[in-house]
C-alpha cells in the first residue's frame, strides 16, 4: 500500500488514542493573554485554525510571526507582556521556528513547542513541550501530523476554558470512493481554486498545498471573502473551485458560488459532516483533502509518496 494512503488510514485511531494525552499535556500550559505562532507549511495552516479557535472561543488575540524578521533582518520584535510564543514543527528541526522561540525566551516570554519528534532544535528552544505522538510519518506529504496538530490545538482551547465538546470516539470519514468523482474533475482542470472561510480556511490552504506537492497541479487557496475581491475574475471554462465548510447561511459564500457557476466554472462542495460542531468538521475535511490529492496524483500518473523536488524535512532560515 502507498505510504501516504496508509498514514491517511491511521488517523482516526490515532485521534482517539491521543485525544486524552493531548488534553493532559495542554493542561500544563498556562492560559496567556496573547499568542504568537511560529510555523511553516502545513504547521502554519494548522496555526490559522488555532487562531480562529482562540480568538472566537477565548477572546485571546493571536498573530502569525514572520521568522525572517529575526533570521534574515536581525530584528527583535518586542512581544507584549503575558504573550505565549508557540512554535510548531512536525520534525522539530525548523531553524527559523527555533530562532523565534529563542528570541522570545531571551525576552522572558512563555514558550511552547508543538512537535511530533521529541528531540530537535525547536524542542530545545522552548520552555514547555507538547508532543503529537503520531509515530514516524514516512510519506513526504504531512497527513497524520497535520490533523493531530489540529486536534492538539482543539484540546489546548478546551484546557484554557473554551466551551467545546469532547471529540468523538468514532468518526464518519470520507472514503476513496467518496472522493473519486471529485478527483476526476480536479485532475482534468486547467486551474483549481480551493476556498474556505473561518475554521475551514486552513483546510483550503492545506488542500492546495497537497494538490501542488503530490499531484503537481496548480492550485490557489483563498478565503471565500478574499476570492470575491478579484481572483474570481480568473474563473472560466476549465476552472474548478473546491469549497470547504458549510456556509449555507453565509451570504458572501453563496454569492461567490453563484458567480463561479455563472462564469462557466465548476463548483465542487467538499462533503461536510454535519453531525460534528464546525470546530471539529475540519478533521474529516482534512482527510477528504488528503485522499483527493492522493487520488488526483495517481490519476495524473504520479507517485504521491515521492513528490518531485521535495524531502520530508525542510530547513529554512
| Residue 311, beta-bridge partner list | none
Give the containing element (helix H, strand E) for 273: none
Instruction: Give 176-299's CATH code, choosing from 3.40.50.10490, 3.40.630.30, 3.30.70.20, 1.10.1060.10.
Output: 3.40.50.10490
Give the containing element (helix H, strand E) for 293: helix 278-299
Residues 6+ apart with CB under 8 A from 304: 2, 4, 139, 141, 214, 215, 293, 294, 297, 298
The pLDDT value recorded for residue 1 is: 74
The pLDDT value recorded for residue 46 is: 98
| C-alpha cell, 240 | 474548478
The pLDDT value recorded for residue 254 is: 80
| Residue 89, beta-bridge partner list | 115
pLDDT tens per residue, range 210-242: 999 999 998 999 998 888 788 887 888 888 999
Residue 212 contacts residue 185 (beta carbons within 8 Å):
no
| C-alpha cell, 64 | 502569525
Q: Distance between CA 277 and CA 285 in Å, rounded? A: 13
Specify whether domain 3-159 bears CATH 3.40.50.10490: yes
Residue 132 contacts residue 90 (beta carbons within 8 Å):
yes
Question: DSSP secondary-structure letter at 306?
Answer: S
Give the containing element (helix H, strand E) for 55: helix 41-58
Centre a 10 Å sphere on the Cβ of residue 217 and count the other Cβ atoms it contains: 22
| Residue for grid cell 485532475 | 187
Can 3-159 and 176-299 be said to share one CATH topology?
A: yes
The strand order across the sheet containing 34-38 reads 62-64, 34-38, 83-89, 110-115, 128-131
The pLDDT value recorded for residue 261 is: 83
> What are the domain boundaries of the chain?
3-159, 176-299
Give the containing element (helix H, strand E) for 222: strand 219-223
The pLDDT value recorded for residue 171 is: 95
Taking 50 as the pLDDT cut, the residues of the chain under it are 310-313, 315
The pLDDT value recorded for residue 253 is: 78
Amino acid at each position: 500500500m502507498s505510504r501516504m494512503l496508509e498514514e491517511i488510514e491511521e488517523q482516526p485511531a490515532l485521534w482517539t488514542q491521543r485525544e486524552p494525552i493531548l488534553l493532559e499535556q495542554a493542561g500544563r500550559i498556562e492560559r496567556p493573554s496573547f499568542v504568537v505562532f511560529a510555523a511553516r507549511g502545513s504547521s502554519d495552516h494548522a496555526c490559522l485554525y488555532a487562531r480562529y479557535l482562540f480568538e472566537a472561543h477565548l477572546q485571546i488575540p493571536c498573530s502569525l510571526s514572520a521568522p525572517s524578521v529575526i533570521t534574515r533582518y536581525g530584528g527583535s520584535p518586542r512581544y507584549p507582556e503575558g504573550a505565549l510564543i508557540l512554535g510548531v514543527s512536525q520534525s522539530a528541526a525548523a531553524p527559523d521556528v527555533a530562532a523565534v522561540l529563542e528570541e522570545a525566551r531571551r525576552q522572558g516570554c512563555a514558550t511552547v513547542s508543538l512537535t511530533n519528534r521529541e528531540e530537535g532544535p525547536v524542542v530545545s528552544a522552548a520552555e514547555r513541550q507538547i508532543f503529537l505522538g503520531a509515530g514516524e510519518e514516512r510519506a513526504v506529504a504531512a497527513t497524520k501530523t497535520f490533523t493531530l496538530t489540529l486536534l492538539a490545538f482543539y484540546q489546548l482551547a478546551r484546557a484554557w476554558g473554551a466551551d467545546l465538546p469532547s471529540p468523538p470516539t468514532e468518526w464518519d470519514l470520507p472514503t476513496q470512493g467518496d472522493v473519486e468523482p471529485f478527483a476526476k474533475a480536479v485532475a482534468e482542470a486547467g486551474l483549481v481554486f480551493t476556498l474556505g472561510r473561518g475554521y475551514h480556511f486552513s483546510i483550503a490552504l492545506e488542500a492546495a498545498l497537497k494538490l501542488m506537492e503530490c499531484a503537481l497541479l496548480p492550485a490557489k487557496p483563498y478565503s471565500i471573502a478574499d476570492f470575491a475581491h478579484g481572483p474570481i475574475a480568473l474563473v472560466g471554462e476549465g476552472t474548478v473551485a473546491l469549497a470547504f465548510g458549510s456556509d449555507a447561511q453565509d451570504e458572501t459564500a453563496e454569492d461567490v458560488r453563484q458567480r463561479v457557476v455563472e462564469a462557466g466554472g465548476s463548483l465542487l462542495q467538499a462533503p461536510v459532516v454535519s453531525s460534528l460542531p464546525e470546530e471539529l468538521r475540519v478533521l474529516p475535511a482534512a482527510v477528504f483533502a488528503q485522499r483527493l490529492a492522493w487520488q488526483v496524483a495517481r490519476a495524473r500518473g504520479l507517485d504521491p509518496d515521492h513528490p518531485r523536488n521535495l524531502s520530508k524535512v525542510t530547513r529554512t532560515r
